[in-house]
Structure 1
Amino acid sequence: MKWSCRMNARNFRDQLQQFAFVLPALAVYIVFFIYPSVGSIYYSFTDWHGLEKNIAFVGWDNYARIVQDEAFATALSNTLRLVVVVSIVQNVAALALAIGLNGSIRTKKLLRTMFFMPAVISALSVGFVWSYIYNPVDGILNAALRAVGLSAWENDWLGNADIVLYSIMGIIVWQNVGYAMVIYLAGLQGISDSYYEAAAIEGAGPWQRFRAITLPLIGPATTVNVMLSVIGCLKMFDIIYATTGGGPGYATETIASLLFSNAFGGRNEYGYGAAIAIVLYVLIFVVSWIMLKFFRSREVEA
């Protein structure tokens, strides 16, 4: 009996020590994530304007306004276009780079470093640099086009509403393709050469080996990269803020940038901004859950 009591006391002390180690991280998580999230849900049902003490409960009015808001509809369309185009282009380019740099190229280490470098630069810095590159008067891109005799292709890359969203897509892909490449490289290097040797003996060509061996076995890497690109585009804000601010008009407005402009861009509509934030959270959760279920099922089949 005494031995059992001593064991229970020891187990309790061990659990208490373990909880003490977890407590600081748990406190930070509650203070900086749980509390603001619950607060956002509450404020999304109010007309809060920031510093006012009198906050009126407005029910579902903010969410009804979202449904009727043309600016939100445009932002949603732009966000989904970013998700589709960037996810496809970025992953195809990253996989092509990974396959190319997984071979016996002498300078592959240098090239891997060069392609990965943009990923460690802050998005705001990337946005400011590309704003200069895209400058219609003094920008490097138009100057390069003039130098090679393609003056007809010169454009106001961030001022033309017809092409500005594609200009933003180019920046996003440029910054993130190297990071995705590294993930694909890790997947490729985990594939045993014996699979390719056996397929070659059976007479399989390069495309057949790629389709039957490479693609199925890099399934986990593909899942990670697609999820990262989709979620990153759904909450895209920093590059938009540093380059166009959502303009011209609403041509590059995303859900995240619309949230910022309503809550912090001078309008001080914190209640409406909180409602947009909740809608964005739900959208990210639903899309992520659907995609994760889809890719996990494909990995199991493979």
Structure 2
Amino acid sequence: MLKNTRKTLYLFYFVAPALLLYTVFMLIPTIGGMFYSITDWNGLNRNYNFVGFANFIEAIKEDPDFLNSLWFTLKYVVVMVVLQNALALLLAVFIESRTRFKGFFRTVFFMPNMISVIISAFMWTFVFTTVLPQLAEKTMMTFLDQSWIGDPRFSFFSIVIVSLWNGVGYMMIIYLAGLQGVPQSLKEAAVIDGANPFQQFRHITLPMITHAITICFFLTLNGAFKVFEVVFGLTGGGPGRATQVITMNIYEEAFSNNFRYGYASAKSVILFVIVLIITLIQIRITKRNEVEA
């Protein structure tokens, strides 16, 4: 009994610093935001009034900018979850199939992830506004000479391109770890049975890396819903509000123009509930397939 108690205390001592930081910087602010979501606090005054669910009703029924940003974010999430995981898995399979220069390819594809997202956005702003028009002029590829940032038809694609460039490498590393855990004996048995490379990937490799797929889908889904820096650095939510994501709408409500901190907190709670529900559904589906595999 004494030995188990001592072991538990040792475990608590190791976890305590991280738990303290998580409580101070994550848990308490989250609870505070939920509390302020039912008030009209402006973020500065000590006095505020309780308004119940008025903030939530206003956000859902009377705020078209919030709803538009929500739909734009959902579109971005769907595109990013599909493309980022598909490209990351494709790169991981390509690198794992190489017999030489694996370390080189891993470094090259992962390197963009080491650059700050906001810096990447500024870099790509120069590419979209200066490099591509000149490249189009020199090479006669006129399709490159577009208003990638100023035109709502192309600004969404510019955001997706930069997001993929910055984030695919991280997911690729996770998929690589999963691919390296696939037993070689299963692949050899499939080859003996006459399976082609596509059949090997579909029936052997893919089921064996479902744990990596679960992790990557979870990370991509949450990261896409919380996107801010790339949009802020590239378009600022413009032109107009055409590319405003939900996090930028919340930021604008709380700090930029209106200083309605309570109202912004209510929007944050709505985003939290949406992400929570979708994440639980995603984990349930992927985990079920992982068990079946």
- C-alpha distance in 1, partners of 2:88/2:209? 13
Matches within 5 A, 1:33-112: 33-68=26-61, 69-112=63-106
| Count of residues paired in the alignment | 292
Does residue 142 of the first structure (1) align with residue 159 of the second (2)? no
Letter in 2 for 1:171: V
TM-score in terms of structure 1 length: 0.91
Does residue 172 of the first structure (1) align with residue 163 of the second (2)? yes
- C-alpha distance in 1, partners of 2:132/2:267? 36
Extract unaligned runs of 5+ from structure 2: none
Secondary structure of the residue aligned to 2:173 is helix
Does residue 241 of the first structure (1) align with residue 232 of the second (2)? yes
Does residue 202 of the first structure (1) align with residue 198 of the second (2)? no
- C-alpha distance in 2, partners of 1:299/1:67? 36
Q: 1:133 aligns with which of 127, 140, 155?
A: 127
Answer whether contact 2:40 2:261 (CA < 8 A) is retained. Answer: yes
TM-score in terms of structure 2 length: 0.93
Letter in 2 for 1:41: M
Deviation at 1:17, TM superposition (A): 6.1
Q: 1:118 aligns with which of 109, 112, 116?
A: 112
Letter in 2 for 1:189: Q
Which whole-Å deviations, capped at 9, do the CAs of 1:196-231 have from their partners, x for residues lacking one?
A: 211111111121111111111111111111111111
- C-alpha distance in 1, partners of 2:142/2:4? 76
Q: 1:220 aligns with which of 184, 205, 211?
A: 211
- C-alpha distance in 1, partners of 2:163/2:4? 51
Deviation at 1:30, TM superposition (A): 2.3
Q: Percent identity?
A: 39
Does residue 276 of the first structure (1) align with residue 270 of the second (2)? no
Quote the residue 1:187 is aligned against: 178
- C-alpha distance in 1, partners of 2:8/2:192? 57
Quote the residue 2:142 is aligned against: 151
Letter in 1 for 2:44: L
> RMSD value over aligned CA atoms?
1.8
Which whole-Å deviations, capped at 9, do the CAs of 1:260-289 have from their partners, x for residues lacking one?
A: 111111321101110111111111111111
Deviation at 1:26, TM superposition (A): 3.1
Which whole-Å deviations, capped at 9, do the CAs of 1:51-96 have from their partners, x for residues lacking one?
A: 1232111111110011121111111111111111111111111111
- C-alpha distance in 1, partners of 2:262/2:288? 39
Answer whether contact 2:36 2:262 (CA < 8 A) is retained. Answer: yes
- Once structures 1 and 2 are overlaid, which stretch shifts more, 191-200 or 226-235? 191-200
Secondary structure of the residue aligned to 1:251 is coil
